[in-house]
Amino acid sequence: MRIGVPKEIKNHEYRVGLVPSSVAELVHHGHSVMVERGAGLGAGLADGEYEAAGAVIVDGPGRIFMEAEMVVKVKEPLPEERRRLRPEQILFTYLHLAPDLEQTKDLMASGATCIAYETVTSPSGALPLLTPMSEVAGRLAPQVGAHCLEKAQGGRGVLLGGVPGVPGAEVVILGGGVSGSHAAAIALGMGAHVTVIDRSADVLRRLSSQFGSSVRTLFSTRESIAQAVRQADLLIGAVLVPGAAAPKIVTHDMVRSMQAGSVIVDIAIDQGGCSETSRPTTHSEPTYIIDDVVHYCVTNMPGAVARTSTFALNNVTLPFTLALADKGWLQAVKDDRFLRDGLNVHAGKIVCRPVAEAHGLPYTPAEEVLA
């Protein structure tokens, strides 16, 4: 199969779809790989490393989208990239379609087969291709939140860990999944007081077992969220409903109740955000202020640590990339029901129920497509 890796063009996105070792594996399996010149530089990967692994370096994205049978990326294709997609081409990347009607319609119009990292599942029901980026985003959240709490950034002027005689910040984390638990670990390590809210009693038990009495756990109700949000110096939104838009569990009234200079870091912004006041931002302009509360809603947080993120992502995506290349997408998703869950759009049809429901568009079960 002819595989193409374009350079990411999203604002300050430095990750790359394949690292040289992944290219070498694909070439070893008999496939050809084209990499856009400079695609890996943001992650510290030179063109020469890709050439040594067997890739062909090409100038610009044109040839990649024209010739590649499968395009491997990191972030969702932007409009100029979507216009280059064509029927029978495979797109393998993060898509996050539920909050993005325009992208959904464009991918349907392209006729391409679009497989989303974030909806591929595992036998345990986990999301193996989302997990490493959730880990990165969770670990970044207290770090960027601590920076936003600085007075010069519009924050309260609170040091996350405090100092002897002065208490640390109150950190409230909504969601105790992968991102939330990693955020809790880092916030604790920085010396903050941490509360995690989740609607799953099993998750709360796991967090209690993991952190002991160091973390306060609360069952998620509207009232418990409202009270915790009101007291938070740093609120981290780590809510996830796989494939679907994030629920807006933090209302505008709750945001108004927060202390001036408090900070919201909404990790869920890729799926629309979990606060009514959240809107997507970029690494160039990461924050805005509503009702004296600083909002950090960058949609590609892991891109800030591109080298770590790129290698972590390739560790989990490579087996699926190889399967798609070795077998073709149709046989690969027939053989692997977990990869099949990643199929979002095919030949103009939406094959992911949460995406279809989010936009009120017709849903086609994967079984019909495979037949």
Model pLDDT for residues 251-264, shown as the tens digit of each residue: 999 999 999 999 99
Look at residue 241 in the predicted model and tell me its pLDDT.
86
- Point out the residues that are catalytic: 96, 270
Taking residues 318-326, what's their average pLDDT?
Answer: 98
3-state secondary structure 144-162: HHHHHCCHHHCCCCCCCCC
Percentage of the chain lying above the pLDDT 90 cut = 98
pLDDT bracket for residue 284 (50, 70, 90): very high
pLDDT in tens, 19-78: 999 999 999 999 999 999 999 999 999 999 999 999 999 999 999 999 999 999 999 999
Taking residues 237-246, what's their average pLDDT?
Answer: 89
Task: Give the predicted TM-score (pTM) of the model.
Answer: 0.91
Look at residue 242 in the predicted model and tell me its pLDDT.
83
Look at residue 371 in the predicted model and tell me its pLDDT.
85
Tokens read off for 206? 């796991």
Taking residues 257-280, what's their average pLDDT?
Answer: 97
Give the list of residues 6+ apart from residue 124 with CB closer than 8 angstroms, or none. Answer: none
Give the list of residues 6+ apart from residue 30 with CB closer than 8 angstroms, or none. Answer: none
Look at residue 244 in the predicted model and tell me its pLDDT.
86
Q: Is pLDDT at 83 greater than 90 in this prediction?
A: yes
3-state secondary structure 234-288: EEEECCCCCCCCCCCCECHHHHHCCCCCCEEEEHHHHHCCCECCCCCECCCCCEE
Q: Is pLDDT at 265 greater than 90 in this prediction?
A: yes
d(CA 282, CA 292): 20
Q: Is pLDDT at 243 greater than 90 in this prediction?
A: no
